[in-house]
Structure 1
Amino acid sequence: MTERRSDELRLSVAVAALELFAFDGGTSTTIEAICDRAGISQRTFYRHFPVKEDVVVPLFERSAEAMTESLGDAPADGDVVEVLVEIFSPRTMFRDLPPAIFQQRFLSVMRDSPEYLLRWHALDEPMSGPMADFLAARGLVGDDPFERGLRSGLVLHAARLAYYRWMQAETPEGLHELLERAMVAVLSSWKGGLADHAW
């Protein structure tokens, strides 16, 4: 099987799993049920996913690819907060993925299941370098590797906290507003970080 076909298969199985997780509201769905929905054998499943929890990895990998591409394409003269809010928006993070991934229910399942949350957090690793490059191109971080890693990590964590807050049913704020608040809070703590942002 070619690498491309393998990636397509992994993504289709991941989509089948996310739809079941979103429907059930939990991760207790069996591998057998995921395989039935995806139309594959359990042997094929284990060839692509050593453990059940890895089934969501292709979703987060696709999300990281979309955000990395958007970071590279972002206008150099755009408002940093507005650009980051757009990059972390569902239409960027989850483009080319089924709408079910953006359901609060599915994302809450990921947040509330430690094994799956680890897979979501793993998204930070491939995103750290591109985010640091994005910040550096806008004068928000220097060449020091520690500073670059720290600041890019803060931005990524702030976005995740905005999603966590949005998942709480009692919050009256929308995701866009929460992402904007998160980016303003992080960037305004850096000297000159928001000098040109109208807030």
Structure 2
Amino acid sequence: MTAPRGRTGRPPLTEARKTEIRREIARAAVDLFVSQGVTSTTGEQIGRAVGLSARTVWRYFPSKESCVTPLFSEGIHAIAAFLREWPSGQSLQEAVDRWLVAGTGIAGGPDRSTVGALVRLTRTEPGLRAVWLQTYDEAEPAFARALAERAGLPADDLRVTIRAAMFNAALRAAVEHYAWREQYALRGDHAQGERTAAETELEATLRQALAVASEGVK
């Protein structure tokens, strides 16, 4: 009689570790895209930057452009969380200010310079542009659910759908506006000081965009 075989090999990765790996791949991909362009970047190079094989990279992402998805998604998730936590009866300005003071940050997700560099690439790289727009397309239902929950309405209510679309469009326009402003701020002899001003502008731009989109949302 033979003894039952035990499980061999490495233990399975936790979901937290998988998320961490996806983020490491995303950051490596952005660094390579910015430094040498999307066309010149290969899956082998992305994997090598984080100590993985290209085969492992393709297990996490279907294409090199899609490797950046986690960095796009983190900001979207932060905004959805903000909308869910926005107390009924509190103005949007008050909610945003409290969130920023708490240190959460309205942009959430990766650092702003990474976001700026990545969003700028979406203007010249069709593959990245497709990923960027797809991220916002998938975000809209999440925004709708958050707004519906806040208003006590069904998620498929037309008013909720329209408001979510307004928030979605306003946020994308604000981030793109910031990214291109940051590009110009990084030029010149006073790049560091101007960049700080541009980063401050991201919060102001998002505040303004959300305020416009929130008109009529009580």
Contact 1:124–1:153 under 8 Å retained in 2: no
Structure 1 length normalisation: TM-score? 0.73
Structure 1 residue runs of 5 or longer lacking an equivalent are: 195-199
The equivalent residue for 1:72 is: 84
1:83 positional shift? 3.4
The equivalent residue for 2:7 is: none
Q: 1: CA distance between counterparts of 2:156 and 2:69?
A: 31
Q: 2: CA distance between counterparts of 1:94 and 1:185?
A: 20
Contact 2:144–2:163 under 8 Å retained in 1: yes
Q: 2: CA distance between counterparts of 1:117 and 1:140?
A: 35
Matched, 1:186 2:199: no
Structure 2 length normalisation: TM-score? 0.68
Question: What secondary structure sits across from 1:72 in the alignment?
Answer: helix
Matches within 5 A, 1:40-119: 40-83=52-95, 91-95=105-109, 97-98=110-111, 100-102=113-115, 104-119=116-131
The equivalent residue for 1:36 is: 48
Q: Aligned Cα RMSD in Å?
A: 3.4
Deviation string, structure 1 residues 141-190 (Cα, Å, up to 9, x no partner): 777533322220111111111122223336997223322332333333x4
Identity of aligned residues (%): 24
Matched, 1:148 2:160: yes
1:11 positional shift? 1.7
Per the alignment, do residues 42 and 113 of structure 1 end up closer, same or farther by CA in structure 2, a change over 3 Å counting? same
Moved more, 125-134 or 7-16: 125-134
Structure 2 residue runs of 5 or longer lacking an equivalent are: 1-11, 186-196
If asked which structure has higher relative contact order (CA below 8 Å, sep 6+), I would say 1
What is the number of equivalent residue pairs in this alignment?
Answer: 187
